[in-house]
Chain A
C-alpha cells in the first residue's frame, strides 16, 4: 500500500481520474449556479422543480441529454460531425492537466505549462470550426467562421497579456509562476506599480472572448444564428460541446488565477499573522454560513415536502462538514490552498456570469475592431511598459 501511495504516478493518476470523473458533474452544477445567478439578476427564481431549489436539476438535464435521440443531418459529413465535439472536449480536458490546484495537487507540472494550455485552447477552436463545417448548414457555417476569426484575433491579445505575467514571474511552469508570486510578495495583477493591472484587464476581456461568452458569444449568437456552430447538434454530442465550453471557462479562470491572482496562495501570503484568520476562519465561516442558509431553507421546505427538506438539510450538513475539515491540522495546508484556488476561480466564473446578465452582444465587425485596434496595441504597450519597469526594478 505504502509503495502504491509513494509511487510517482500515484498522485497524477488519482488527480486525473478525479477530474475526469467529477468534471461533468461540476460543470452541470456550474450551469445550475449560472441559471440561479442569472435568475437572481433577472427578478425570478430559476430552476425550482427538480429537487429542493433545483438542486437535482443538473442530474435531470444530464439524464435527458443521454436519452435524447442522436440526430445526424443527412447532408452532414458523418465522420467529421462525430469527431468535432471530441476535439473540443479532449483539448479542454487536457488543459486541465496543467492546472495547479495546489503546490502538490496537479496532474503534471511541465516547464512550458502555460504554453501547452494556450496551445490546447487554440486547437480547441478546431473542434468548433470542423463542427460548424461538417453540419453542412448555413447557420453553423457562419458561426464557425465567426468563431475562427474571433478566437484567432483574441488569442493574440490574450497571449500578449500572458507574456506580461510570464515576464514578471520568469517562468512558464504554472507551479513556478505561483511560487514566484510568493517570492515577490505580491499577486502579479498588482505588480509593477499597477502596470500589471492593465495586462490583467486585457486578459479578462480576451478570456471572456476566448470562452465565447456574452458579450462575445458571436459564434453562438442565439438571436442571430439560432445556436451558431451547435445548431445541428443534439443529445450527447451537444452535451460534449457544452462540457467543453464550461471546461474552457474553468481552465481560463484557472490560468487567470494562477498568473494574476496568486494561484493557491491566500491573500497576503507573506503576512504570517493572517494565517489563521484567512486559512481557517474564513473558509470555516464561508461554509458554515452556506450550511446555515441551507438549514433555514430546509426548515421552510418542511411545509411542502419532507424529502425535499431532508435533501436540503443533507446539503447543509455536507457543507458544514466541509467547513469543519478546515479545523483539522493534518489536512489543513493542502485543503486551504485548494479552497483559495477554487474560491478565486469561482469569483472569476461569477464575474463572467454577471457580465452575461448585463451587457448586449457585440457585432462581428466591432468585435474585430476592439480586438485588433484597441486590445492588441494596448497589450503590446503593456508588454513594453512592464518589461521596462521590470528591468529597472531588477537593476
Chain B
C-alpha cells in the first residue's frame, strides 16, 4: 500500500453504509479513497447478527428448521434443504425418491428466484433501473408456486427432516411447466437489455477481477468461482438429493470479472430451467416422508453436509451429543466467505466499481451476519 497518494493529497475516509442504497442491507464498508480511487475497503459486519447458531443449541432439531430460512432469506428453500440433509445424514436416513424430486424442483425454482433478485438489484446498482421490475414480475410467479405449495412466499420452511410435509398440490406440474415455458424467453429479454449493452460492458468487464488462485485462497465458491474458470459445482462434485440423475452443465467463464459473473448466473438460470423440466416430467410415486420418529434423537457424532446454494457452497456442521437438541451448529454461509474477497477485488477501482463488485458477490446480509 502506497503511503503517498497520486497527487500527494490527503486520503478521504468514506463510510459507506450501514444505511446506503446499494450495500444490499446493512453492510458497512469503510473506504479509504484517493479522490475516487479506492485504496482500501474494510467490511464492518454484524448489524444483522441474531445469534442463529446459538439459538440452535436451545431448540430441538425440528424447532430449529424454520430458523435457517432467516439466514439467506431470498434462497430459504436452499437453506432448508441443506439443514434437512445434514440432520438426515446424522440420523442415517434418506428422504424417499418422491420427496427428493420435489426438493430438487423447489430448490431450483428458488435458485432462479435468488438469481433474479440478484440480477435486478445488480443492474439497479449499475444504474439500469428497468430490469428490476422485469425480474420482479417473473419472481412473482415462482413465489406464487411456493405459496401454493407451502403457504409461505419468502421464508418457506418447505421441507421437513426426513422428507416433505406437503405433497405436490393439484396443478403444480402444469404451473411449473407453464413457468418454465414462459421463463426461457424472458431470460433472452434481460440479456437483450444488458449483455451487449456497451455501457454495461464498460462498467463490468475487468472490474473486480478474482482469479482462480485468489478464489481458492479466500475459499470463494459459487458463481464467483465458476466465473474464474473453475468447473466446481457441488451438485456435480458430490451429488445430493438425486442431482446425478439430471443432465445439466456447469457454466464457466475464463476472466473472473463482474461481467463473467453476470454471464455465469444468467447461464445458471437456463440450466436450472433445464433441471426443473427434467424433474417435473417424472415425479415418482410413493411416500414423501422417511421413517422419522416424533422425537429426533440422533446418535452422538458430528456431520458436515454442504450443498450448492445459489450463492455458493452452503455447509452445515452439526455436532450431536445424543440429546434432542444439537450440541453445536455451525453454518458455512457462502455470502460471508465470498465477502472476504471484497477488499482484494475493490483495491485500485473507483467508487462506482465497489457498488458493482458488492452486487456481483451477491450477498445477503442475513446470511453474512446470521
Known: A360-B199, A360-B203. A224 touches B134 (CB 8 A): no
Known: A44-B133, A358-B130, A360-B197. A138 touches B36 (CB 8 A): no
Partner of A142, one of B20, B134, B193, B351: B351
Please tell me if B123 contacts chain A, counting CB pairs below 8 Å: yes
The residues of A that contact B202 with a CB separation of less than 8 Å are 362-363, 366
* Contact indicator per residue, chain B 118-146, by CB within 8 Å of chain A (1) or not (0): 00000111111110111001000000000
Known: A43-B134, A222-B21, A223-B127. A364 touches B36 (CB 8 A): yes
Known: A142-B351, A224-B22, A226-B20. A361 touches B130 (CB 8 A): no
Are A138 and B126 closer than 8 Å at their CB atoms?
A: no
CB contact list, B156-182 vs A, under 8 A = none
CB-based nearest A residue for B128: A360
Please tell me if B248 contacts chain A, counting CB pairs below 8 Å: no
The residues of A that contact B128 with a CB separation of less than 8 Å are 358-361
CA distance A232 to B133 in the complex (A): 29
CA distance A142 to B124 in the complex (A): 20
Known: A138-B12, A358-B193. A224 touches B351 (CB 8 A): yes
Partner of B127, one of A41, A42, A214: A214
Known: A357-B129, A358-B193, A361-B127. A138 touches B14 (CB 8 A): yes
Are B126 and A361 closer than 8 Å at their CB atoms?
A: yes
The residues of A that contact B283 with a CB separation of less than 8 Å are none
Are A359 and B199 closer than 8 Å at their CB atoms?
A: yes
CA distance A364 to B127 in the complex (A): 13
CA distance A362 to B125 in the complex (A): 12
The residues of B that contact A42 with a CB separation of less than 8 Å are 129-130, 132-134
Are B133 and A224 closer than 8 Å at their CB atoms?
A: no
Please tell me if B94 contacts chain A, counting CB pairs below 8 Å: no
Known: A224-B352, A224-B355, A366-B202. A359 touches B12 (CB 8 A): no
Give the number of chain B interface residues (Cβ < 8 Å).
32
Please tell me if B353 contacts chain A, counting CB pairs below 8 Å: yes
Give the number of chain A interface residues (Cβ < 8 Å).
31
Please tell me if B200 contacts chain A, counting CB pairs below 8 Å: yes
The residues of A that contact B350 with a CB separation of less than 8 Å are 363-365
CA distance A218 to B203 in the complex (A): 13
CA distance A334 to B146 in the complex (A): 61
CB contact list, A342-365 vs B, under 8 A = 356-365
Are B137 and A215 closer than 8 Å at their CB atoms?
A: no
* Contact indicator per residue, chain A 200-218, by CB within 8 Å of chain B (1) or not (0): 0000000000000011011
Are B199 and A142 closer than 8 Å at their CB atoms?
A: no
Partner of A223, one of B14, B124, B133, B199: B124
Are B14 and A363 closer than 8 Å at their CB atoms?
A: no
Please tell me if A38 contacts chain B, counting CB pairs below 8 Å: yes
CA distance A186 to B128 in the complex (A): 37
Are B134 and A363 closer than 8 Å at their CB atoms?
A: no
Known: A359-B127, A362-B199. A226 touches B21 (CB 8 A): yes
Are B199 and A357 closer than 8 Å at their CB atoms?
A: no
CA distance A221 to B133 in the complex (A): 19
Most central of B12, B137, B197, B352 by chain A CB within 10 Å: B352
CA distance A364 to B351 in the complex (A): 9
CB contact list, B84-138 vs A, under 8 A = 123-130, 132-134, 137
- Distance (whole angstroms) from the CB of A129 to the closest CB of chain B: 16
- Distance (whole angstroms) from the CB of B15 to the closest CB of chain A: 8
The residues of B that contact A222 with a CB separation of less than 8 Å are 21
Are B355 and A223 closer than 8 Å at their CB atoms?
A: yes
CB contact list, B25-83 vs A, under 8 A = 35-36
The residues of A that contact B123 with a CB separation of less than 8 Å are 360
- Distance (whole angstroms) from the CB of B156 to the closest CB of chain A: 26
CB-based nearest B residue for A365: B350
- Distance (whole angstroms) from the CB of A118 to the closest CB of chain B: 27
- Distance (whole angstroms) from the CB of A371 to the closest CB of chain B: 14
CA distance A395 to B202 in the complex (A): 46
CA distance A73 to B36 in the complex (A): 24
- Distance (whole angstroms) from the CB of A375 to the closest CB of chain B: 15
Are A43 and B21 closer than 8 Å at their CB atoms?
A: no
CA distance A357 to B22 in the complex (A): 19
Are A223 and B36 closer than 8 Å at their CB atoms?
A: no
Known: A138-B14, A222-B21, A223-B124. A357 touches B130 (CB 8 A): yes
Are B21 and A364 closer than 8 Å at their CB atoms?
A: no
In addition to A223-B355, A364-B36, 15 A-B residue pairs with Cβ atoms within 8 Å of each other are A43-B137, A138-B14, A215-B199, A223-B125, A357-B129, A357-B130, A359-B128, A360-B126, A360-B199, A361-B127, A361-B128, A361-B199, A363-B202, A363-B352, A364-B350
List A residues at the B interface (Cβ < 8 Å).
Answer: 38, 41-44, 138-139, 142, 145-146, 214-215, 217-218, 221-226, 356-366
Please list the 9 inter-chain residue pairs (A to B) with the smallest Cβ-Cβ separation, ordered nearest first. Answer: A361-B127, A42-B133, A223-B22, A360-B128, A360-B127, A363-B352, A360-B126, A223-B125, A360-B199
13 example contacts (A-B, Cβ-Cβ < 8 A) are as follows A138-B12, A223-B21, A223-B124, A223-B126, A224-B22, A356-B129, A359-B128, A361-B199, A362-B199, A362-B202, A363-B353, A364-B36, A365-B350
List B residues at the A interface (Cβ < 8 Å).
Answer: 12, 14-15, 20-22, 35-36, 123-130, 132-134, 137, 193-194, 197, 199-200, 202-203, 350-353, 355
